[in-house]
Chain A
């Protein structure tokens, strides 16, 4: 084991890998800080640029974007009251009032430290849990795997949107999109309608860039017209004297909030579909309840920022635990990361840990290095990023549209991939507008081949006799859990409503996430 760790350390400590981690974290931080852009968009756009990288460098680069994005989203939340990502909505509650009080730099530093601590703690949990869970997962057969996938899709559908039915329909549409390809068993082209470009399946990047990046741009474009795309940056316009120093005592006073946030972020991140937004919200609620001065929350309490940001960042490595253990992504970002693994010929799951442990150790070490680099990038770059986020959308959006076209072109399908991407942008726009869950859609699409394979194997093994389930108690447990999650969670449908209710504040800072000037 130590030999493998030593070898992995050598692999990570190369100029290529470290350079890509720095680049990934910096890009992620920038994208997270920009209102309207998010990690998933950045991951979708930059996946094609990883083709020529080594698998380790590519995965570390993508993880760097993910980590940087989670931390960077606090910048615009604190300075502009516009969360860079949905998970930073809670940060605006106290971050923006701190800015109004002339404590923006203090809030930014606290958010950064909380993010890094949450990130490191959750990465350690990932390292400790992934291998034992994967060892358990190796023993799972197709019947158990089918039941687990069925449970995962149902659970994500139940918790990730407002409507369970829409969630499950999105997941099924995603699964269906994985069908056009050469049939896994017979090798016959299926639903390809003569397009040879579809023999390997619908290109991941056409789906990801179209539904995540370009459709989001289309939603933003339809919100404004002629100069309505600007935000006010308090950092640049503040007339209040700045109280920028975060003292050691202030930082230590926020440590309990950071630890609580890290715990909540890790637990919520572990469960597929729940997402960082819920983690931030629950951590904030817990810290507020435990506080001796709950009346200060919503008016600029540093603990509010610390709890929300540590939970947000802790959920990033934690969400990779199911990916490494059983190959199950639970969020948009992890689904895209899994896509990155697959593009580089790696299948995340128990067999990756068994057969390629050195690479997995190297990825874990890369993640820890990314946390340290995140601290550096955030510490030295916060002033720069605070100014850059004031760039007009009329500049950013057209450039992203151009990058979408190039990204879809690069996957190998040529202009065919670009045309498909345009179709999926249109589909994604309406999925968004009609409240269909993107997470289940993309998870369904990524898991499609795995679902089909395990389903077919299960049917062949059981000879299509459902009574065989009696010999597989693990499968029964997951099927029961699937039914329960569909029945209870979707019936309660409580998460989004509770969140949206909690986000409403009576004071002047309660603005919609993206206010048009």
Chain B
């Protein structure tokens, strides 16, 4: 048995059933249509996901896996690293959103560099400023699109 697939399959199955019975009906804007419902396609696809997720759970229960395959795909340490990295990125994005790319961009880059263990200011300073400068020139001047 492989617990990860069993739980993953059950979770996906539950999510797709929630989609079919709760989320899709909640979205119904109440208009009228003739022929096939606009929700026909998502319901068919969600049913497919529910069916195959259930099959995945059943397969996980019945099949024998090697010890390598049975191991957890994500360790607690990796999960902590992921969450911390995501928190940094989200914080950087929020700073970009509110204060603009000139402040948020270098902050985001520096934060990730420090997180990854880079301590040399000779690397940190140019890496924080040059990409923002290049993107500014490329996007604003060359492509003519606005930046946050």
Q: How far is the CA of A447 from the CA of B44 in the complex (A)?
A: 16
Task: Answer yes or no: A168 CB below 8 A from chain B CBs.
Answer: yes
Report, as a range, how many residues of chain A touch the other chain: 35 or more
Flag if B74 contacts A433 (CB, 8 Å).
yes
Flag if B92 contacts A410 (CB, 8 Å).
no
* Residues on B with beta carbons closer than 8 Å to the beta carbon of A193: 27
Task: Answer yes or no: A357 CB below 8 A from chain B CBs.
Answer: no
* Residues on A with beta carbons closer than 8 Å to the beta carbon of B12: 169
* CB contact under 8 A between A186 and B31, given known A173-B49, A409-B148: yes
Interface flags for A228-243 (1: CB within 8 Å of B; 0: not) read 1100000000000000
Quick one: which of B35, B45, B74 has the most chain A CB within 10 A?
Answer: B45
Task: Answer yes or no: B113 CB below 8 A from chain A CBs.
Answer: yes
Task: Answer yes or no: A189 CB below 8 A from chain B CBs.
Answer: yes
Task: Answer yes or no: A488 CB below 8 A from chain B CBs.
Answer: no
Task: Answer yes or no: B4 CB below 8 A from chain A CBs.
Answer: yes
Task: Answer yes or no: B21 CB below 8 A from chain A CBs.
Answer: no
Flag if A221 contacts B116 (CB, 8 Å).
yes
Main secondary structure, interface of A, reads: helix
* Residues on B with beta carbons closer than 8 Å to the beta carbon of A399: 109, 127, 131
Q: How far is the CA of A394 from the CA of B40 in the complex (A)?
A: 48
Flag if A165 contacts B52 (CB, 8 Å).
yes
Flag if B46 contacts A176 (CB, 8 Å).
yes
Task: Answer yes or no: A460 CB below 8 A from chain B CBs.
Answer: yes
Flag if B143 contacts A397 (CB, 8 Å).
no
Task: Answer yes or no: B118 CB below 8 A from chain A CBs.
Answer: yes
Q: How far is the CA of A394 from the CA of B116 in the complex (A)?
A: 6
Task: Answer yes or no: A351 CB below 8 A from chain B CBs.
Answer: no
Considering only residues 204-246 of chain A, those with a C-beta below 8 Å from chain B are 214, 218, 221-222, 224-229
Q: How far is the CA of A295 from the CA of B81 in the complex (A)?
A: 44
* Residues on B with beta carbons closer than 8 Å to the beta carbon of A429: 82
Task: Answer yes or no: A255 CB below 8 A from chain B CBs.
Answer: no
Report, as a range, how many residues of chain B touch the other chain: 35 or more
Q: Which of B40, B49, B123, B147 touches A172 (beta carbons < 8 Å)?
A: B49
Q: How far is the CA of A185 from the CA of B36 in the complex (A)?
A: 9
Interface flags for B14-36 (1: CB within 8 Å of A; 0: not) read 00000000011001010101011
* CB contact under 8 A between A405 and B92, given known A169-B52, A455-B41: yes
Task: Answer yes or no: A183 CB below 8 A from chain B CBs.
Answer: yes
Q: How far is the CA of A364 from the CA of B79 in the complex (A)?
A: 46
Flag if B109 contacts A410 (CB, 8 Å).
no
Flag if B38 contacts A406 (CB, 8 Å).
no
Q: Which of A172, A190, A401, A422 touches B112 (beta carbons < 8 Å)?
A: A401
Flag if A190 contacts B38 (CB, 8 Å).
yes
Closest Cβ neighbor of B23 among chain A residues: A191
Flag if A175 contacts B112 (CB, 8 Å).
no
Task: Answer yes or no: A369 CB below 8 A from chain B CBs.
Answer: no
* CB contact under 8 A between A190 and B147, given known A226-B117, A422-B86, A435-B73: no
19 contacts between A and B (CB under 8 A): A52-B142, A168-B48, A176-B42, A191-B23, A191-B27, A191-B42, A192-B27, A221-B85, A221-B116, A222-B85, A229-B116, A394-B118, A395-B113, A401-B89, A402-B108, A405-B93, A409-B148, A410-B145, A422-B90
